[in-house]
Structure 1
Amino acid sequence: MTESSLRIAFLASSRFPIRQPFAGGLESHVWYLARALAADGHRVTLFAGPGSDPALGCTDLEVRTLELSAVARADASMPSMQFMTEHHAYLQLMLDLGGRLADAFDVIHNHSLHYLPVAMAATVSTPILCTLHTPPTPWLESALAVSRGQGAHFAAVSAHTAASWQHVVGELEVIPNGVDLADWPIGEGGNRLIWFGRLVPEKGAHLAITAARRAGFPLVLAGPISDTDYFERSIRPLLNRDVVYLGHLAQPALAAAIGRSAAALVTPVWDEPYGLVVAEALACGTPVAAIARGGIPEVLTLDCGRLVPPDDLDALVAAIPQTVALSRAAARARAAAHCSERTMVDAYVNTYRRLIRQPVHGKPFRLDGVR
């Protein structure tokens, strides 16, 4: 290893490849971070679903498949096949990282939501950084309760997410997600609104449709249909010439659609750990009207958007014309100041180097309240 070049393993979802169009914000984040690190001369290796983007310049770690016998499948303890497939993939990966790949990497960056990279971190001699992309989950809390965080280090994507994990890991570093401004160019705006993201109930696209209609603005939607029942029940019946679903767009087409919109609506009905769609909209110069949940208030300011209380649709409707009137230049400036990919990459590299210099298995975390 030289000071200028690191060998970095990225652990992502074993189901989804790191390629466009992205399955979700986590895959988008990993793609951009891996690309930026590779462009800086670091050697990045991905563990993700088969078929990740070869243009990233990264190598792949094999996702091991599972073939269970008929007897095992018929056992009363057999969980879903998806659970078993993911369990098998991460179990094999962690055993490999502690065995045949023990000297292959300088640092391991875990972006997965699976419990085994945390539970088995102490079996790996390479430093492991776990970015917390979500609120606490029962599986990860269980892994931490058993392992006491031994062998792993943690960072959160927002102060809100850090606070939600404080009862588990105590104080931890915050490294906000960043966007590449070159890939999200400022657009001219337009007369319509846009909502984009995964089409699932917790993202609240149905609220955006209702608010746009009441405010008198046409709306376009973009993103993967991650919950078919929700889409067919709550979204498709509302589509017409003023509410149009554009599909699951690759990033360049998505950026163009955002740039042609007067404002973006962000309508979560859960606490967003960060709110990457807010950063992407601002980068395109598109002001944002958002429900103030999770980490979103850390990104959005009065000069580039409006925040409304949860469960207050009237406030969201009233905020739309105010948001449309905001400066597109101010939105872009906020993205450059707060959501810079360069700042994010440099913060991660500094953290990698600090972990490499430290003993791998230091004192365990104090897990107040977790038994």
Structure 2
Amino acid sequence: MRICLVASNRFPVREPFAGGLESMTATLARGLAERGHEVTLVAGPGSEVHPAVRLAPLATVQVSAAAMADRFAPGPEWLADHHAYLGLMLSLARTGARDFDVVHNNSLHHLPVSMASALDVPVLTTLHTPPLPLLESALALCPSPPRFVAVSQWTSDAWRHVVESDVVRNGLDLDAWSPGPGGGPAVWSGRLVSEKAPHLAIDACRAAGVPLVLAGPVQEPAYFASEVAPRLGGEVTYAGHLTGSALARLLRDASVAVVTPSWDEPYGLVAAEAMACGTPVAAFARGGLTQVVSAGSGVLVPPGDVAALAAAVVTAAGLDRRAVRAHAEATCGQDAMVEGYLAHYADLQHRVDAA
């Protein structure tokens, strides 16, 4: 099939990944290309993926100082998003049916949803977040909503008041995230932002007397400076923003992975990565994490309860690492994700052919 895979314009799809959306998109693009499909990835500048995947940059714009001086002018980030996806959808409206069999939207922007009905090629959108106001607005104006997939049953249920969606869980290359011996410090990984609350992981591990290594990009410098940096030191260290292979090495040696969302995680890819390495998870029970982490692969505690999380860090570290890996193999593999999306692409194509 000829697949147009649409990513975020804000972050390039390349190592080290800015977040789970970029990582999942790269894994999917590679998996589709390795099965012989013709994949075009439309993504932010600087993206680097599988050599068989064609890269197509999203449009950028530089408007005049006079235009930006307007007192109602949007911020530069909003304008960049708008221009990138408006340009993409207008291009697909002109030539999409000639170039592609399906468009798979992995962005969080409203224009690929609101303009899907203007295309002669079917559009599939993956829901990567809890409900967003601009997406709900776009759906309210769709005469016939495009097809949706959610990354977890929790996310599907969260969107049900607006749109129905099937579930295709995020997947990993299990060979890249291979099991290791454990026994080392606890690890917290992900975007260092307030909604991920790594400072609570530090507090819990200090209370438990367990060393902790943090890894990930600092995307909210003010939050990092006020809540994370002052807590570093002693047995709490920050390893930086690691590539997948470096993070996998860290997780293979970790005794436990700590996951501390202060929002409802749509899926929880960092937990899946840890479990694939055989490393059990201690986490707050929020959103999709409750469906990704099983009783045999981790310990979930009430959100925000640092004392309970400290106890969970100790308890989870004692779980059978072979059972944790087995759970990941059964639920988090790349093959199931790729085949799930291919089934949806084929169904969309069949509907077009039958129309």
Query: Do Structure 1 and Structure 2 share a fold, with TM-score over 0.5?
Result: yes
For residue 317 of structure 2, the aligned residue among 324, 327, 331 is 324
Structure 1 contact 125–360 (Cα < 8 Å) conserved: no
Distance in 2 (alpha carbons) for counterparts of 1:211 and 1:54? 37
Is residue 2:272 matched to residue 1:279? yes
Which is further off, 65-74 or 304-313?
65-74
Quick check: 1:291–1:316 contact (8 Å CA) kept in 2? yes
Q: What is the aligned partner in structure 2 of residue 111 from structure 1? A: 106
Q: Is the 8 A contact 2:102 2:349 kept in 1?
A: yes
1:81 Cα deviation (Å)?
Answer: 1.0
- After superposition, the C-alpha distances for 1:217-269 in whole angstroms (9 at most, x for unaligned) are 00000000011011111111111130000000000000000111000001111
Q: Give yes or no for contact 2:13–2:49 (8 Å, CA) kept in 1.
A: no
Query: Any idea what the Cα deviations from partners look like across 1:152-184, whole Å, max 9, x if unmatched?
Result: 110100111001100101x32011111111010
Any idea what the Cα deviations from partners look like across 1:85-122, whole Å, max 9, x if unmatched?
11011101100001034310011100000010001001
Distance 1:361 1:14, change over 3 A: farther
Question: Quick one: distance in 2 between partners of 1:212 and 1:56?
Answer: 41
Identity of aligned residues (%): 51
Confirm or deny that 1:229 pairs with 2:229.
no
The partner residue of 1:134 within 129, 135, 144 is 129
Contact 1:34 1:56 in 2 (8 A): no
SS of 1:209's equivalent in the other structure is helix
Structure 2: 5+ residue stretches without partners = none
Alignment of 1:1-371 (within 5 A): 6-150=1-145, 152-169=146-163, 171-359=164-352
> Could you tell me how far 1:311 is from its partner in structure 2?
2.3
Map of 1:366 onto structure 2: none
Aligned-partner SS, 1:212: helix
Q: CA deviation digits over 1:14-59, x for unaligned, max 9?
A: 1211100001110000001101111111111011111211544211
Distance between the aligned counterparts of 1:353 and 1:101, measured in 2?
A: 17
Which string of whole-angstrom CA distances, capped at 9 and with x for unpartnered residues, describes residues 312-360 of structure 1?
2221111111111111101100000011111111111011000111149
Q: Closer, same or farther in 2 for the Cα pair 1:99/1:318, shift >3 Å?
A: same
| Secondary structure of the structure 1 residue equivalent to 2:224 | helix
Letter in 1 for 2:303: P
Amino acid at match of 2:305: D
Partner Cα separation in structure 2 for residue 292 and residue 274 of structure 1: 12
Bigger mean CA offset, 306-315 vs 349-358: 306-315
> What's the Cα RMSD here?
1.4
Q: Which moved more, 1:182-191 or 1:105-114?
A: 182-191
CA contact (8 A) 1:215 1:321 kept: yes
- Whether the 8 Å CA contact 1:94–1:116 is kept in 2: the answer is yes
Asked whether the 8 Å contact 1:269–1:310 carries over to 2, the reply is yes
Stretches (4+) displaced over 2 A: 54-57, 359-362
Aligned residue pair count: 355
Q: Which amino acid aligns with 1:211?
A: A
Q: Normalising by the residue count of structure 2, what TM-score does the alignment of the two structures yield? A: 0.97
- The answer for unaligned runs of 5 or more in structure 1 is 1-5, 363-371
How far off is 1:361 after superposition?
Answer: 12
Say if 1:192 and 1:262, in contact at 8 Å, map to a contact too.
yes
- Is the Cα contact below 8 Å between 1:132 and 1:156 reproduced in 2? yes
Q: Cα distance 1:197–1:311, how it changes in 2: closer, same or farther (>3 A)?
A: same
Distance 2:26 2:354 in 1: 29
CA distance in structure 1 between the partners assigned to 2:97 and 2:20 by the alignment: 30
Between the aligned partners of 1:215 and 1:90, the Cα distance in structure 2 is: 47
SS at match of 1:189: coil
Structure 2 SS opposite 1:51: coil
Partner-residue secondary structure (3-state), 1:188: coil
Letter in 2 for 1:317: A
Given that 1:126 and 1:360 are in contact with CA atoms closer than 8 Å, whether structure 2 keeps it comes out as no
Task: Name the CA distance, whole Å, in 1 between partners of 2:179 and 2:162.
Answer: 40
Q: Whole-Å Cα distance in 2 between the matches of residues 360 and 76 of structure 1?
A: 49
The CA deviation at 1:128 is 0.5
